[in-house]
Structure 1
Amino acid sequence: MSESRLREEMARLAKSLFDRGFSVGSAGNISAAVADGLLITPTNSCLGFLDPARISKLDRDGNHVAGDPPSKEAPLHRAFYDTRPGTGAVVHLHSTYATALSCMAETDPADCVPPLTPYVVMRVGRVPLVPYFRPGDPRGGELIRALEGRHAAVLLANHGPVVSGRELAATVYAAEELEETARLLVILRGVPVRMLDAAAVAELRQAFG
């Protein structure tokens, strides 16, 4: 996909997320890899009203080379690209239920989203909790790098989800799957729940990676 088409696709998918309530105000940021660097939504921009031509561009060293000033969470995004070969996009949202899980004391920091449905296993995988850091703090990138590329998605404590993937649309879909599973987990709190067993999870991972 050409850079111009990718810019348009970012704006289209970002608007879809905004219109359906996956982000509000100027919350959230999206990035996608290009041959010579990275496209990322501008700082303080609204996902519902992106101008494709003004989406920020960083070179391979993280320098801002085009578009509006980049999201302050650029170090967080770059950490996924640097530690997970083949990453083509990263989506960070403040979606309600995934953020709720990131705030709940009972959430297992090693596995925030247990295998409730096959699709969260297939599209998201195991989701650890990353300790709280101030939004925009470069330490966020360091905490992601410390995971050494083992996870495609994380929850940032008291902040929200970050999901990486091979291409933009699939990454957006995975972020949506994570949010919907988080919603189910919150709805089902206090109710006996049947999770997928280890054999079912292993079968899914073998079949879908």
Structure 2
Amino acid sequence: MSEEARARDNLVATGKSLFDRGLTFGSTGNLSLRLDDGSWLMTPTNASLGALDPARLSKLDPEGRHVGGDAPTKEAFLHVEMYRQRCDARAVVHLHSTHSVAVSVLADIDPADVLPPITAYYVMRVGTLPLVPYYPPGDPALAGAVSALASRHHAVLLANHGPVVAGTSLEAATHATEELEETARLFLLLRGQAIRTLTPDQVAELRRRFG
């Protein structure tokens, strides 16, 4: 089986897993993979992640031009900007997952780092999470806002919209997105409670050990 065929099957299986577990719904969310030749596979526009067809996935060339399959997601530029700013990225996951979106609309969050370091795995898989100001879905201006943060952060949270997460593999990007969603859920459950987050020294030690 060719690299591209494996990548297509991987995207379809990952999309179905995310959909079946309620991390995406309807035709929301989009996934992409970068192939060895620099081209990309992306989920098509208006497609449910739970019912993807590997033969109809969108293909973009290294310049971001649509060269095969169905028309790509209208948020393809989010993926392209993450790849352009992060040379190690091989996959990008963008979801409208419920708890992450809920956090993105709160008025009192820190836009420089939306979620506190509640768990070690959040620090290891997500790190700091900046908030990107609100833009309408598909607005090209959103590309510049994401690009300005992507070189320093592999995960960002779009205000009133949802997370965009890059990873060195589709598995890594998916695991980080899931960790973000679970931390957002914990954060909402704990609001109003006195909590004990990891200390700056504990966070620094995790980054020293795990990068």
CA distance in 2 between partners of 1:207 and 1:52 (Å): 38
Map 1:1-209 onto structure 2 (within 5 A).
2-36=3-37, 37-147=39-149, 149-209=151-211
State the identity as a percent.
56
CA distance in 1 between partners of 2:169 and 2:80 (Å): 15
Q: Which moved more, 1:141-150 or 1:107-116?
A: 141-150
- Measured after TM superposition, the shift of residue 22 of structure 1 is 0.3
State the Cα RMSD in Å.
0.9
- Measured after TM superposition, the shift of residue 40 of structure 1 is 0.6
- TM-score, length of structure 1 as denominator length: 0.98
CA distance in 1 between partners of 2:166 and 2:105 (Å): 21
- Measured after TM superposition, the shift of residue 148 of structure 1 is 5.1
Deviations 1:114-144 (A, max 9, x none): 1000001001110000000111111111111
CA distance in 2 between partners of 1:179 and 1:148 (Å): 19
The answer to whether the 8 Å contact 1:113/1:182 transfers is yes
Aligned residues: 209
* Unmatched segments (≥5 aa) in structure 1: none
Name the amino acid aligned to 2:43: T
The answer to whether the 8 Å contact 1:76/1:138 transfers is no
* Unmatched segments (≥5 aa) in structure 2: none
- Measured after TM superposition, the shift of residue 160 of structure 1 is 0.6
CA distance in 2 between partners of 1:125 and 1:51 (Å): 33
CA distance in 1 between partners of 2:87 and 2:64 (Å): 17
CA distance in 2 between partners of 1:39 and 1:114 (Å): 33
Name the amino acid aligned to 1:22: L
The answer to whether the 8 Å contact 1:29/1:41 transfers is yes
Q: Which moved more, 1:90-99 or 1:135-144?
A: 135-144
CA distance in 2 between partners of 1:71 and 1:88 (Å): 18
Name the amino acid aligned to 2:85: T
- Measured after TM superposition, the shift of residue 145 of structure 1 is 1.2
- Measured after TM superposition, the shift of residue 171 of structure 1 is 0.7
- Measured after TM superposition, the shift of residue 195 of structure 1 is 0.4
CA distance in 1 between partners of 2:172 and 2:92 (Å): 10
- TM-score, length of structure 2 as denominator length: 0.97
Structure 1 runs, 4 residues or longer, greater than 4 Å off: none
